[in-house]
Chains A and B, each alone.
Chain A
Amino acid sequence: MTAPATPAEARRGGAVRDRVLDFSHRHRSISIIGGMTLVTLLLPVLAQAPPFNAFQPFNAWLDGFSNAGTYVLLALGLNIVVGLAGLLDLGYAAFFAFGAYAYAYGASPFSGNDFPFLPMLVVGAVVAATFGVLLGAPTLRLRGDYLAIVTLGFGEIVPIVFLNAEQYTNGTNGIGGVYPPEIAGHEFNILNPWPFYLLMAVILTLTLIIIYRLQDSRLGRAWMAIREDELAAAASGINTVTTKLLAFALGASTAGLAGVYNASKLTVVSPDQFLFQVSFTVLAMIVLGGMGNIWGVAVGAFIIYTLQATFLKQLNVFFAAINFPAFSLGPITIDLKSVNFTEYQFLLYGIALVLMMLLRPEGLFPSARRRRELHTAEEGAEPSPTGLDASGELA
């Protein structure tokens, strides 16, 4: 059992916390709506406060938050597949692509259609879910890493098909001029990031409510049972095939939503938006957030996206804005203002990924259930509080 560091302290401060936790457990949907409203209001305020305002103008922040929201949505969907049902999916970007292309067909000059946005959101989700089932049906009997490899292959094939089937997808250039959303007569405009931001907040709130409800449902418990032990789950009367297919379909449909949103926001859909790197990044997000823990995954996704897309890109702008003094390390003088961080952006991102994993292999906010599992798994080997390096040092 994992005990708090000092039990007495935890109990004293816990009275208020307990009541909050109790409320949030009993009225989960209300607390999600409350929490999301709070976050939605807080983020714009935070973006205008120092030191964040030094990074980039306010509109860029707001736009970045919407993009981060897309990734949060993707992470929430992948979390259903990987975190809850325990099926490692390395080609998740494919479903993102299906959502995006579905919207591009539904609302762009390329296809000549102009369907309204909100129904298309549903259509995108359904299209992605359909492909999720199509991929899942033959492959879900594969176990563990083989499933990961098949999804990896699928994730590679899909962008190639979109790239090469030129008469249907316009090849490398992709489908341009995709119509931005229009809701209740209000046409969204790229110049004004607010509607996109608010729309994403609403989508995320609804998704969170649905996913939390799913997790606590019979289906959610079945997913976790399969994650723990598929054989035992099957023996307990769970139809593992249907359950896994549902995890795949629901995870894919969330990616479909993200795809539709992203296509309508960028107004262009091209195959290079859905490469391997996207699948990887989303997987890194959920692992870092703490697999299986829904809000942890959402926060992890937000942190990684903001880190990668904003902080690392704008670091020298930031250092210049706060006029960071040059300092010397022995013989070399380092002036952070003149270092071109854009060049080192992905290098730093890679280092950050490795370091974060080494420091917290179970993620920033591991789910309680998952933490317990890890602990019981360790009892057989060498007890170690962090789960690090046990049998490695035995030899």
Chain B
Amino acid sequence: MTAASVAQRPAGIRLTRDIRIAISAVVFVAIFYVLIGPQQVANALTLGAIYALIALGYTMVYGIIELINFAHGDVFMIGAFVSMQLLLKALLPIFGIEAPFAIHNLPLLVVILAITFVVTMLVMGVVGVTIERFAYRPLRNAPRVAPLITAIGVSFILQNIALILFGPASNNFPQLIDPNAHADLAGASIAYVNIFIVVLAVVLMVALQMFVSRTRLGRAMRSTAQDRDAAQLMGVDLNQTIAVTFFIGSALAGAGGVVQGLYLGSVRWDLGFNAGLKAFTAAVLGGIGNTTGAALGGFVIGFIEVAAASKGYSRWSEAIVFTVLIGVLVFRPAGLLGQQLGERA
């Protein structure tokens, strides 16, 4: 298998590969910096961070059970609603904060954000594990399209739960970080929200990378992704590993939901579908099954979309994103960083 050969590459080659990725990333950002200006680069990074957070869940789940989890975008949307309810119904009243919700007391802001993120991520993790347990696990040995259909079914269910509970209109999300507070950075004034989101996303991604590469469970995940049967023979608990994967993926999507709410200040029931589709595109673009690739893909999609919008083609931005996707797949079928998928129908 190609997967094994990559894992066994000598450290030197892996290092130069990392350096190559870093250099191309810097060049990529530099080109866009010239093209669309620093303000838009900040927006693109923020949007890309959100896509990257969602894309990680897609790519992990695909890597481990080869399922395109169409419900994942809606898990992201539910995460936004859960954190909204948490803030409006519990945290903000407890701390006695009233509209317009922007908190200027830094320690208080940190505490509230920390609680929001932790609780939302835990709740969404449990939601993800529940979905896996009831909708995907019974179908693990069924024809491959069967779990795809249940994923679509779950997506419908989640969307309509949100629609019934919160109505078809946009719901206001408390923007805890003052969207008007700016920092002067690299010749542009960049909102603190943007900085916070990008930093948080990078921290979460690094944490994920450490988890996958350093811990016992992470090793179990990697081995299951490589060869499920062999992993089982080596004593890996398959159900547990897959549940952990869903937990982490959904928790990251939940974090993405909170971030989306903080950034845009509104959430809607149908938000998950498009975001999910683009995040999925990001995962494929980066090479599906590859977490670094998914993060990279998320940022690429963010840049493409913001660049299209800033040049006046916002109506075409999705078409451009998908055209790029098709182009990449035709000329580089395994994505930017991916390995060629094996032969399977």
Interface positions of A (Cβ within 8 A of B): 82, 86, 88, 138-139, 142-146, 148-150, 152-154, 156-157, 160-161, 163-164, 227, 230-231, 276, 280, 283-284, 287-288, 291, 343-344, 346-347, 349-354, 357-358, 361-362, 370, 374, 378, 381, 384, 387-392, 394-395
Interchain CB contact under 8 A, A284 and B149: yes
A346's contact among B62, B66, B159, B237, by CB below 8 Å, is which? B159
Interchain CB contact under 8 A, B323 and A157: yes
**Cα-based distance from A390 to B238 in the complex (angstroms):** 12
Residue of B nearest to A343 (CB): B164
A287's contact among B145, B316, B326, B330, by CB below 8 Å, is which? B145
**Cα-based distance from A343 to B160 in the complex (angstroms):** 9
Residue of A nearest to B323 (CB): A157
**Cα-based distance from A187 to B232 in the complex (angstroms):** 66
Interchain CB contact under 8 A, B137 and A389: yes
Chain B residues with CB under 8 A of A395: 232, 236-240
Stretch from B46-54, B150-158, B175-183, B205-213 that touches the partner: B150-158
Interchain CB contact under 8 A, A150 and B326: yes
Interchain CB contact under 8 A, A392 and B157: no
Interface residues of B in 135-154 (CB under 8 A from A): 135, 137-143, 145-150, 152-154
Interchain CB contact under 8 A, A153 and B325: yes
Among B62, B134, B143, B160, the most chain A Cβ lie within 10 Å of the Cβ of: B143
Interface residues of B in 298-328 (CB under 8 A from A): 315-316, 318-319, 322-323, 325-326
- A283-B152, A374-B143, A390-B141 given; name 14 further pairs at CB < 8 Å: A149-B284, A156-B319, A164-B315, A283-B145, A284-B149, A287-B148, A288-B149, A347-B164, A353-B149, A353-B150, A353-B153, A353-B156, A357-B149, A389-B138
Grouping DSSP codes into helix (H, G, I), strand (E, B) and loop, the B interface class, with mixed when no group exceeds half, is: helix
6 closest A-B pairs by CB: A350-B156, A353-B153, A361-B142, A153-B322, A347-B160, A350-B157
Interface positions of B (Cβ within 8 A of A): 62, 66, 68, 134-135, 137-143, 145-150, 152-157, 159-161, 163-164, 228-229, 232, 236-240, 273, 277, 280-281, 284, 288, 315-316, 318-319, 322-323, 325-326, 329-330, 333, 341, 343-345
Residue of B nearest to A229 (CB): B345
- A143 in contact with B142 given A157-B319, A347-B160 (CB within 8 Å): no
- A392 in contact with B150 given A145-B68, A146-B329 (CB within 8 Å): no
Interchain CB contact under 8 A, A156 and B318: yes
Interchain CB contact under 8 A, B344 and A143: yes
Interchain CB contact under 8 A, B161 and A392: no
Residue of B nearest to A231 (CB): B343
B225 to chain A, nearest CB (A): 14
B139's contact among A148, A357, A384, by CB below 8 Å, is which? A357
Chain B residues with CB under 8 A of A145: 62, 66, 68, 288, 341
Interchain CB contact under 8 A, A354 and B341: no
B58 to chain A, nearest CB (A): 11
Residue of B nearest to A373 (CB): B143
Residue of A nearest to B277 (CB): A156
A293 to chain B, nearest CB (A): 13
A220 to chain B, nearest CB (A): 17
Residue of B nearest to A227 (CB): B345
A392's contact among B66, B134, B137, B319, by CB below 8 Å, is which? B137
Chain A residues with CB under 8 A of B66: 145
**Cα-based distance from A374 to B142 in the complex (angstroms):** 8
A169 to chain B, nearest CB (A): 13
Among B145, B155, B157, the most chain A Cβ lie within 10 Å of the Cβ of: B145
Interchain CB contact under 8 A, B138 and A291: no
**Cα-based distance from A65 to B6 in the complex (angstroms):** 55
- A283 in contact with B138 given A150-B329, A347-B156 (CB within 8 Å): no
Interchain CB contact under 8 A, A284 and B157: no
B155's contact among A144, A146, A149, A350, by CB below 8 Å, is which? A350
Residue of A nearest to B238 (CB): A395
B176 to chain A, nearest CB (A): 31
B276 to chain A, nearest CB (A): 11
**Cα-based distance from A146 to B331 in the complex (angstroms):** 12
Residue of A nearest to B281 (CB): A153
Among B238, B240, B326, B329, the most chain A Cβ lie within 10 Å of the Cβ of: B326
Chain B residues with CB under 8 A of A88: 145
Interchain CB contact under 8 A, A284 and B152: yes
- A149 in contact with B141 given A346-B156, A346-B159, A347-B164 (CB within 8 Å): no
- A392 in contact with B149 given A139-B326, A149-B329, A153-B326 (CB within 8 Å): no
Chain A residues with CB under 8 A of B284: 146, 149
B71 to chain A, nearest CB (A): 10
Interchain CB contact under 8 A, B281 and A353: no
**Cα-based distance from A372 to B199 in the complex (angstroms):** 53
**Cα-based distance from A391 to B141 in the complex (angstroms):** 8
- A357 in contact with B150 given A156-B277, A156-B322 (CB within 8 Å): yes
**Cα-based distance from A157 to B317 in the complex (angstroms):** 10
A312 to chain B, nearest CB (A): 12
**Cα-based distance from A161 to B135 in the complex (angstroms):** 35
Interchain CB contact under 8 A, B142 and A157: no
- A142 in contact with B333 given A160-B319, A361-B146, A390-B141 (CB within 8 Å): yes
